[in-house]
Amino acid sequence: MSIPAVELTGVHKSFGKAKIICGVDLSVAPGERHAIIGPNGAGKSTLFNLITGRFAPTQGTIRLHGEEIQGRPPYEINRRGLSRSFQITNIFPQLSVFENVRCALLWPMGLRYSFWHLVSGQSELNARADDILERINLAGRRNVPAGLLAYAEQRALEIGITIAGGAEVIMLDEPTAGMSHSETDAIVALIRQVTEGKTLIMVEHDMGVVFNLADRISVLVYGQIVASDTPEAVRANAKVQEAYLGAALEAAE
């Protein structure tokens, strides 16, 4: 069996006395599209933040491609090939759309903290940034300051920044939040296209999107994973139905 792309064992997280994550075990295989669902306040975003290094877990280990990463700063985890997006759009508002994407490419392309390369001279860098803009359909907005984009465009840019560096593991936090139906369809197609051959972990409320995209689904309730299985099995799981899914499924149909 191959090494899981992401593996959590016995992860706990408390803020003061509040226990948000209480013993999560989770394993995501390379190339898998994995969705984490659960009711509001279940700790999905916290779990995301633990994996990506925004918070350090109180207890437990988190492995990325077999290497322990818990408690490391976000930039180190990112350098090991994990990239994430945010639920609340998190871009560089004063930089142009093109600059936003290019900034996401600098580290992966080995330019690091260089102050002896001019970015304009890096033709491959600029070509790749423009290529990403094409893929997220923002080529026409190339030189607009990102803060002036419409909401859906900012969401697309958010995903563009996340996938630009070619990270092996992509984590998307509610990529379709606040979008209309047609916008959701476009973004789902985009996600499917850009995460081809990669490991995807996503938090999502829209069950249509979840069952459309995910190979496996984990259900998080009150800081614990109550089920982790294929969409069909999760759909049939009594515990899940009881906890949460029934109502949501009805709403989706």
Partner 1 sequence: MTIAPTSDRQPQDTLTGSQWRAALPWLIAFALLLALPFVFRSSSAITVMNQMAITVIFALSYNMLLGQGGMLSFGHAVYMGLGGFFAVHVMNTLLVPLPLLPLFGGLFGLIFAIIVGAFSTRRAGTVFAMISLGVGELVAASSIIIVSFFGGEAGVKGDRTEAPAFLGINFASQTQVYYLIAAWMFLSALAMYLFTRTPAGRMANAVRDNEERAEFLGYSQRTVRFMSFCAAGFFAGIAGALIAINFEILTEENLNLTSSGVILLVTFLGGVGFFIGPIVGAVAFTLLQSVLSLQTDLWQLYVGLLFLLAVMFFPGGLTGVLAMHGPAWRHGKLGLLTVPYLKLTAVVVTGILAAACFLEILFHVRHASVGENTMRLFKLTIDTHAVWPWLATGGVALICLALANRLAPDVKAAWDAANLPAKGSARR
Of 71, 93, 178, 246, the one binding partner 1 by CB under 8 A: 93
Q: Exposed, middle or buried by CB within 10 Å (0-12, 13-18, 19+), for 202? A: buried
Tell me if 120 contacts partner 1 by CB under 8 A: yes
Of 165, 200, 201, 210, the one binding partner 1 by CB under 8 A: 165
Tell me if 73 contacts partner 1 by CB under 8 A: yes
- What is the spatial distance between Cα 72 and Cα 68, in angstroms, rounded to a whole number? 9
Q: Kindly tell me which of 117 and 181 has the beta carbon lying closer to partner 1.
A: 117
Q: Kindly tell me which of 165 and 223 has the beta carbon lying closer to partner 1.
A: 165
Q: Is 221 helix (H, G, I), strand (E, B) or coil?
A: strand
**Tell me, what amino acid is at 102?**
R
Q: Kindly tell me which of 24 and 82 has the beta carbon lying closer to partner 1.
A: 82
Tell me if 119 contacts partner 1 by CB under 8 A: yes
Tell me if 126 contacts partner 1 by CB under 8 A: yes
Number of residues that bind partner 1 (CB under 8 A): 41
Tell me if 182 contacts partner 1 by CB under 8 A: no
Of 22, 29, 111, 139, the one binding partner 1 by CB under 8 A: 111
Q: Of the listed pieces 89-97, 208-216, 229-237, 242-250, which binds partner 1 according to CB under 8 A?
A: 89-97
Tell me if 211 contacts partner 1 by CB under 8 A: no
Can you say whether the dihedral through the CA atoms of 95, 203, 32, 187 is positive or negative?
negative
Query: How many residues make up the chain in this entry?
Result: 253
- Minimum Å distance from CB 9 to partner 1? 24
| Structure token pair of residue 149 | 């984009």
Long-range own/partner contacts, residues 20-24 (CB < 8 A, 24 or more apart):
20/46, 20/223, 21/46, 21/47, 21/50, 21/57, 21/223, 22/222, 22/223, 22/224, 23/60, 23/223, 23/224, 24/60, 24/220, 24/223, 24/224, 24/225
- Minimum Å distance from CB 165 to partner 1? 7
Of 36, 50, 62, 104, the one binding partner 1 by CB under 8 A: 104
Q: Which residue matches tokens 């790749």?
A: 128
Of 46, 78, 176, 184, the one binding partner 1 by CB under 8 A: 78
